[in-house]
Amino acid sequence: MLTKKQIQLKIKEVDSCLLEEYKKIAKGKEKKRDYAKYEQEFMKRIKTVIRNLEPLIYKATINIRIYKGRGQKPKLTIQQKLRIFLVKQLVDKSNRNMAYMLDLFCILMGIDISYKTVERLYSDIELKMALHNLYVLLLEKKSIKEIDACGDATGYSLIVRKHYASIVQKRKDKAKKQNKKKKHFAYQFTLMDIKSKMYVCYGMSLISEKKAFDQAMKMLKEMDISIRSIRLDKYYSFPCYVNQFSGAKVYLIPRKDAKLGHGENWLRVMQSFVYDTMKHLEEYYKRNYSENGFSVDKKLLGWKIRQKREERIDMAGFSNAVWHNLLQLYS
């Protein structure tokens, strides 16, 4: 019978020696990355995405119908909006610079718009629907239904002089929520399918990482996807989070004050951690796929979000998740 004392002793054992032992074993299994080859393959994937983007845009927008009533007709079709928006996020340009770039391609694309038009795309309901359709379409193309998942959060800076990774190193968990008046970061939580490396749900918040997690879980309920197993970091090491994945295997490292008496789901996690520790750690550290995913996203799309209004910040973050899945579709 598992006891609280056994859990406490195992936590101390893991902190003092087992983590280092596991890291040595894992390091021996790692393959050295050929960075030159990696960059070539990465650029090849981007080119493949761009070549195959038009059919995806068509499928994501073909059934969208919004009644606009009387008034001036919009300059852009929904297909043009989605195309411009995705390119804007990829090149990481300001709205004004993006409008200048569009001037160069005006003859080819047959449009003439200002930087204000580009900015308004981030509040466009029709475009948000198209972006969501594209997100779901990408998951369907990978036939994602039942998954082994890992989840983590990151932050996108809203100001140039604040970098999320450096702030987290200094403040740790305190960096995962912020003052309501001073908003320096937008918190993003994503749940990733380990096999395909695609994001299956997404959430963003200007308040805290927890709020971003809650938004992602709302989205997960709307998706036709079931979770076989899930890996979360110590920030989510509470029974309330484990209970949200009832029926799935949950891998996490308990906090130092972890106790029993929180139901069957929590008991199963503690039994796995105490009785099969090395296997538990091996599964838990597959969570690194989420961190690697964020690293690739920020390398491609930047670590800063330029928008100021909340709904536009959320739209920019969601488009980053869409671009991540576009790249994984052809990996």
**Other beta carbons less than 10 A from residue 245's beta carbon:** 20
CA–CA dist 102, 77 (Å, integer): 15
Is residue 179 within 8 Å of 213, Cβ to Cβ? no
Is residue 13 within 8 Å of 281, Cβ to Cβ? no
Q: What are the pLDDT digits (tens) for 4-17?
A: 888 888 888 877 76
Q: What are the pLDDT digits (tens) for 40-73?
A: 887 888 888 888 999 999 999 998 877 666 667 7
Nearest partner of 214 among 236, 237, 247, judged by Cα: 236
Q: pLDDT: is 268 or 113 the higher one?
A: 268
Q: Regarding beta strands 146-157 and 199-205, do their DSSP bridges make them parallel or antiparallel, or are they unpaired? A: unpaired
DSSP summary character for residue 255: P
Residue 264 burial by CB count (10 A; 0-12/13-18/19+): exposed, middle or buried? exposed
Segment (H or E) for 143: none
pLDDT score of 184: 81
φ/ψ bin of 69: left (φ > 0), alpha (ψ from -120 to 50), beta (otherwise):
left
Lookup result for tokens 């200007």 = 206
- What percent of the chain clears pLDDT 90, i.e. is strictly above it? 42
CA–CA dist 199, 119 (Å, integer): 26
Q: What are the pLDDT digits (tens) for 252-299?
A: 988 888 877 778 999 999 999 989 988 998 899 899 899 999 998 988
**Mean local confidence (pLDDT), 218-230:** 93
| Chain centroid, CA 133 distance in Å | 17
Lookup result for tokens 């918040």 = 205
| Summary mean pLDDT of the chain | 83
pLDDT score of 217 more than 90: yes
Q: Regarding beta strands 199-205 and 226-231, do their DSSP bridges make them parallel or antiparallel, or are they unpaired? A: unpaired
Q: Both tokens of residue 70?
A: 């009387």
DSSP summary character for residue 66: -
pLDDT score of 314 more than 90: yes
For the entire predicted model, the pTM comes to: 0.84
**Mean local confidence (pLDDT), 146-166:** 80
pLDDT score of 71: 63
Is residue 253 within 8 Å of 14, Cβ to Cβ? yes
Say which residues have a Cβ less than 8 Å from residue 290's Cβ, sequence separation at least 6: 150, 151, 152, 190, 192
Q: Both tokens of residue 169?
A: 């190193």
Nearest partner of 164 among 297, 320, 304, judged by Cα: 304
**Mean local confidence (pLDDT), 127-139:** 95
Q: What are the pLDDT digits (tens) for 19-40?
A: 666 566 555 555 666 767 777 8
